[in-house]
Every structure is written in C-alpha cells, then in structure tokens.
Amino acid sequence: MKIWRRKILDLSKIIEYAHSKNAVTESTPFGDNVLVYKVGNKMFLLLSLASVPNRVSVKCDPEYAVELREKFNYVIAGYHLNKTHWNTIILENEVNFEFIKEQIDNSYYLIVNSLSKKLRSEILKLTQ
C-alpha cells in the first residue's frame, strides 16, 4: 500500500524571501513560535511555526483581502489580527510559493508606502 504524503511549502523559502526585502527586521515578540517581520518598525509578515499546517499572515488592502478569502479556501481573515487589514494563509498543499511571494510583496509595499517620505526614500534607495 502506497502512503501519500502532503507536500507542504518549505518554511525556509518563505523566511529567506522575507529576509531578501530591504530594511527588514525579524523578531519574536509573541513568543518563539511566531516570527514577525517588520519594515520601518511596522509589521508586514507573521509566520506561525507552531500551527499545523503552518500559517503566514500578511497585511492586505481591505477589498483585495475579501476577494482573496472568497477565492481561496486556504486564505482566511487575519488570525488574532485586524481582520479588515490582514489575511492569514494556511500553508496547505494547494498553496504555491509564487502566491506567497505575491502576498508578501503586496504586504511589504503597503507598509513601505505608508512610511514617511524620508524613510520610504531611504528604503527604496537600497533597491537601486
């Protein structure tokens, strides 16, 4: 009898991608099981290590957040976060890394664009 194993997204890829963004800091203010990524001292990504399956939470435009929740069963309102502005993505076998990268990018730039003009300029200069 063959046992099928669910393919789960590799967390190290998500962590590596988060660190590839400019001016990102990582911390664990909610305990060792939740990695928090910030830019300009504002959260844009949370990665839950203890939940099974793992979850990532990203900041999201409110209308787009609802659209994603309606379209994908693995996207839910932000778990323990402001449900208007955050989505949680359950890392099940149907989630692909490209989708996660898009959501991280959207979240990151939502935060960067909300920063002061000076700080935003400093962060964006790092990409050039």
| Structural domains of the chain ordered from first start | 11-125 (3.90.1150.30)
The dihedral of CA 85, 27, 123, 119: what is its sign? positive
Confidence at residue 84, expressed as pLDDT on a 0 to 100 scale? 86
Higher-confidence residue: 11 or 105?
105
Return phi, psi of residue 35, to 5°.
-90, 130
Confidence at residue 4, expressed as pLDDT on a 0 to 100 scale? 38
Residue 4: count other Cβ atoms within 10 Å of its Cβ: 5
Confidence at residue 79, expressed as pLDDT on a 0 to 100 scale? 80
Alpha helices, DSSP H, located in 3-75: 11-19, 62-71
Q: Nearest Cα to 14, choosing from 115, 108, 81, 77?
A: 108
Q: What is the pLDDT of residues 27-66, one digit of tens each?
A: 999 999 999 999 999 999 999 988 888 999 999 999 999 9
DSSP SS3 for 112: helix
Confidence at residue 91, expressed as pLDDT on a 0 to 100 scale? 92
Confidence at residue 9, expressed as pLDDT on a 0 to 100 scale? 63
Q: What is the pLDDT of residues 84-120, one digit of tens each?
A: 899 999 998 778 999 999 999 999 999 999 999 999 8
* Interval 59-83 mean pLDDT: 92
